[in-house]
Structure 1
Amino acid sequence: MDPDQRRAMIVAAALPLVVEYGASVTTAKIARAAGIGEGTVFRVFPDKDAILAACLAEAVRPDDLVAHLTAIDTDQPLHARLHEAAEVMRARMERMGAVIGALAATAGTMSRPAPGKGGALPDREAGFAAPRAALAALFAPDADRLRLAPERLADAFQMLLVPAGRSGAPDPLTTGEIVDLFLHGALAGDAG
């Protein structure tokens, strides 16, 4: 296994442990979860902070989200496409929130990675751009029926889902409510 594959395998094993234990997870636990010796962990990561930074970077990477969004069947009605997209995006927000929350609650002195490559966090706009384009493609088949361009609607839909994905809200909107509100507005029936 090359170092990049080993690194990805260690991060995949570490993510659920980071959610459970936060920054207090030990490298021994990570190694056991990955089915390797602790020394092998340190062949690809200089220290535990580097592992935690790589886990954080993995949690916020948009690649998996984009793959799921582009796999949505565009032959479905728009509301079904948006419902599926909202479910995928909310699951991503929950995963990101779990990792970030666990690390924030226990991090102490862990240094925050800078935007860029490797284990570093992508910049905020880069994290939104690819999912926004994938969402726009979901609107595109109905472009002739839309009030705004697919790209503008994708941006609005994405921004609506970001706060909806946060945990701890007393009575969060369901995915169906979000999609219905987005497609039909706040007014009931034919109220004008």
Structure 2
Amino acid sequence: MIVQAALPLVAEYGAAVTTQQIARAAGIGEGTIFRVFADKDEVLDACLAEAMSPDRVLRELVSISLDQPLADRLVEAIEALHAHLGRMGAVAGALMASGRRPRRDPLASGEARPGLDRETSLATVRDALAELFEPDQDTLRLSPERSAQVFMFAASSAGRLAGQGVPSLTSAEIVDMFLHGALAAGR
């Protein structure tokens, strides 16, 4: 509850957020924070770990209906992935912009979730994406797992292009390019 209340504040204020602001947002007394966390740095580390955890994006991916056409499933998947990347970037970026470097990498240290490292995190997201491809596996050039891997690359790369003098691609445009390539129909 404390971390959930703190996340938007950390994204806004970075390390300059106060425990008083966090307590107010959580609807608790400031002293309660220090019964759970040793200090503010520990709260900030927990916020970074939560932002980097794939749990939320995994819940969103598995909730996508497999009864929809593949393109519609992938549009929803891209939106979930972009929201996840946005949450990570907002928290990590605000902390770095305010001069705070993480004491440790939450995925490398297993803080995001016990037994979860960066590779395992990416693999669990890829596996959830592969499930979205499985109903159409007979029409795919690659296996659902390989398709998911390429799709993850396309989805994350498209987000990096935004703001570099290139208009942002919509989720539907990314999916259309992924599924149908750059050539116009019939060419």
Same fold (TM over 0.5): yes
The separation in 2 between residues aligned to 1:120 and 1:140, in whole angstroms, is 27
Matched residue, 1:64? 56
**Letter aligned with residue 107 of structure 1:** G
Matched residue, 1:3? none
Q: State whether residues 95 and 101 of structure 2, in contact with CA within 8 Å, keep that contact through their aligned partners in structure 1.
A: no
Question: Secondary structure of 1:73's match?
Answer: coil
The separation in 2 between residues aligned to 1:105 and 1:11, in whole angstroms, is 20
Matched residue, 1:180? 176
The separation in 2 between residues aligned to 1:185 and 1:109, in whole angstroms, is 40
Matched residue, 2:163? 168
Q: State whether residues 13 and 33 of structure 1, in contact with CA within 8 Å, keep that contact through their aligned partners in structure 2.
A: yes
TM-score w.r.t. length of structure 2: 0.91
Once the two structures are superposed, residues 61-85 of structure 1 have per-residue CA deviations (whole angstroms, 9 ceiling, x without a partner) of: 1111111111111011111111111
The separation in 1 between residues aligned to 2:113 and 2:80, in whole angstroms, is 24
Question: Secondary structure of 1:165's match?
Answer: helix
Whether 1:129 and 2:129 are equivalent positions in the alignment is no
Give, in angstroms, the shift of residue 119 of structure 1: 5.5
Give, in angstroms, the shift of residue 57 of structure 1: 0.6
**Letter aligned with residue 17 of structure 1:** L
| Count of residues in correspondence between the two structures | 183
Matched residue, 1:50? 42
Whether 1:106 and 2:98 are equivalent positions in the alignment is yes
Once the two structures are superposed, residues 61-117 of structure 1 have per-residue CA deviations (whole angstroms, 9 ceiling, x without a partner) of: 111111111111101111111111111111111111111110110133652345233
Matched residue, 1:144? 138
Gaps of 5+ in 2: none
The separation in 2 between residues aligned to 1:93 and 1:30, in whole angstroms, is 23
Gaps of 5+ in 1: 1-8
The separation in 2 between residues aligned to 1:31 and 1:13, in whole angstroms, is 8
Q: Percent identity?
A: 56
Give, in angstroms, the shift of residue 21 of structure 1: 0.4
Q: State whether residues 53 and 112 of structure 2, in contact with CA within 8 Å, keep that contact through their aligned partners in structure 1.
A: no
Whether 1:22 and 2:20 are equivalent positions in the alignment is no
TM-score w.r.t. length of structure 1: 0.88
